[in-house]
Structure 1
Amino acid sequence: MGHLFHQDFLHLPDGTPLYYQRLGEGEPTMILCDGLGCDGFAWKYLTPFLARHHQVLRWHYRGHGRSGVPKDRSRLGMLYTCDDLARLMDAAGIQQAVLFGHSIGVQVALEFHRRHARRVKGLVLICGSYGYPLDTFHDSTLLKRLFPWLRRLVERYPPQAARLVRAVLSTELAMQVAILVELNRERIARQDMVPYFKHLANMDPVVFVRTLESMAEHSAKDHLPYVNVPTLIIGGGHDKFTPVRLSREMARTIPGAELLLLPSGTHTVPLEYRDQVELHVGRFLHERLGLTLPPP
């Protein structure tokens, strides 16, 4: 059933075109929510796995991937993201779905559950936290202190900022340094990171900093005790973007949540530990949601 594929744009009320694609068939739909500055690279292996028995919906946030940038660039961030997903589900005829979130997509999934709980059948939260990402990046407040200065610089000199980011991120050195410093170089494949660097290098830096500002000020921590759907949390012991203690905290606070910790995993666990992630996700969907267990 996983061979079906459809892609289209949903034109939002403010005119912004929102890109989405649907793969496979079968209920409930699995909706994948990306991290900041991403257009789906983290779902490379999990998408075909899920599409064996279910419809999978992938989509790009405003200003990300193939989605357009709103004419009014203040219309970015968490509240618009949740509204966009609700409209997308309506347009696709999806009443209820299992939400997957990676990185900042975890915040999106949790906030969407707060606002549209009846439309969420389950949550799979991977390498993310409930909020305030600048407070915990590398377990330091350095980025939080630097961010206002960086944002003002980008806002004042957007063309120059875009050229600089493109020049730096388009180099092989940037990718190799990131793999060496941030990721598990023994398990990550270079080609799996190419789409991320390519997308980020060409992204509008104003969109990036305004979206990050919104996410940095958002938290769903107060909502965690009220998450009333089966929840699987996956974290990496060496994740420097979202320290693993945040995964443990979410697992303690969300009623009945399951926790999978991969001690050597980093922020790209779905790419580094494909087999283990697929195994646990499959078991979770089968045991907690009563869904068909995909064959190994």
Structure 2
Amino acid sequence: MSHYFRQDYLTVPDGAALYYQVQGEGEPGMVLCDGLGCDGFVWKYLAPYLEQRYRVLRWHYRGHGRSGLPRDRERIGMLYTCDDLNRVMDAAGIDQAVLFAHSMGVQVALEFHRRYAYRMKGLVLICGSYGNPLDTFHNANWLKRLFPFIRLTVERFPQPVARLTRALLSTELAMQVALSVELNRSLLSKSDLVPYFTHLANMDPVVFVRTLESASTHSAWDHLPHVDVPTLIIAGEHDKFTPAWLSRRMAAHIPDAEFMMVPQGTHAAPLEHRDLVELRVERFLREHLPASPPAPYREDRLGVPDVVSPPTR
């Protein structure tokens, strides 16, 4: 049986062309939700692992990766993202799924459960917060105080900011600072980070700050007691973006949630400790959501191109 792979674009009613890809076979489906400014770098090892036994959906938020923007560029934010995911799951033929979420994706996954609980089979929440991330970044609120100035600057001078961001993030210094200050350089390969820096350097800064503003004012705290699906929460012991106490607090308020602390892990724990994360995920899925046999490979799935072009407008 050939290994199923499909990628495509879904244009939603407001004009945004959303990129998605589906790979692998087996139910339930697995959906991967990225962090802010990401197009999938953190799933480098976990996605292929899941694809061996499950159908895995990867997709890009508005203005991220290969996805485009709506006609009205103000239509960026958490609720649009949840509605987008609902439509993308339909397009991918996935009725119900386990949502894997990293960083800001944790907020997306929790809000998606609030709005579309009937589509959920489980949650795996990795290195993320239930909301208001600027309040706790590096265990302080200085970024929250600074953010209005950052957004004003980006909105007024988008092109100079884009050029400056691209220049700074393309330097070796930026990579070394990240490895030394934010991440565990003894456990992380530089090649694991290159896709993140490349994507962020080329991202529209206006899209970035508008997405961040939406995340910064969103919270699913009130919804945590209502999460009614098996939930695994994974935290990095030395995560500075979303400190581990947030994950512990989240686990304490989601009924029957399971929790794992990754020793010496940072915000990139799935890359730094791939074997540990894979083993814990495997146990979680085996105990709560046993995989069904792969579906028969249908004739109408053959000949799907590996490369597709975004729709033209």
TM-score class, shorter-chain normalisation, is over 0.9
Matched, 1:230 2:230: yes
- TM-score of the superposition, structure 2-length normalised? 0.92
The amino acid that maps onto 2:229 is V
Cα drift, residue 252 of structure 1: 0.6
Contact 2:28 2:292 in 1 (8 A): no
Gapped runs of 5+ residues in structure 2?
294-313
Measured in 2, the distance between the counterparts of 1:61 and 1:105 equals: 10
Cα drift, residue 139 of structure 1: 0.5
In structure 1, the partner of 2:284 is: 284
Measured in 2, the distance between the counterparts of 1:203 and 1:241 equals: 20
Measured in 1, the distance between the counterparts of 2:66 and 2:283 equals: 33
In structure 1, the partner of 2:177 is: 177
RMSD in angstroms over aligned alpha carbons? 1.2
- TM-score of the superposition, structure 1-length normalised? 0.97
The 3-state SS of whatever aligns with 1:18 is: strand
Measured in 2, the distance between the counterparts of 1:66 and 1:207 equals: 13
Number of residue equivalences:
293
Contact 2:17 2:68 in 1 (8 A): yes
Measured in 2, the distance between the counterparts of 1:235 and 1:193 equals: 19
The amino acid that maps onto 2:151 is R
Measured in 1, the distance between the counterparts of 2:157 and 2:89 equals: 37
Superposed counterparts of 1:152-231, under 5 Å = 152-231=152-231
Measured in 1, the distance between the counterparts of 2:28 and 2:54 equals: 7
Contact 2:28 2:289 in 1 (8 A): no
In structure 2, the partner of 1:129 is: 129
The amino acid that maps onto 1:8 is D
Give a deviation string over 1:157-206, Cα, whole Å, max 9, x none. Answer: 00000000000000011011111000011101000000000000000000
Cα drift, residue 237 of structure 1: 0.7
In structure 2, the partner of 1:148 is: 148
Contact 1:2 1:51 in 2 (8 A): no
Gapped runs of 5+ residues in structure 1?
none
The 3-state SS of whatever aligns with 1:153 is: helix
Superposed counterparts of 1:44-63, under 5 Å = 44-63=44-63
Matched, 1:113 2:113: yes
Measured in 1, the distance between the counterparts of 2:106 and 2:229 equals: 15
The 3-state SS of whatever aligns with 1:8 is: strand
Give a deviation string over 1:18-44, Cα, whole Å, max 9, x none. Answer: 000011011111000000000000000
Superposed counterparts of 1:256-271, under 5 Å = 256-271=256-271
Contact 2:26 2:291 in 1 (8 A): no
Cα drift, residue 71 of structure 1: 2.3
- Greater RCO (Cα-Cα under 8 Å, separation 6 or more): 2
Measured in 2, the distance between the counterparts of 1:75 and 1:253 equals: 31
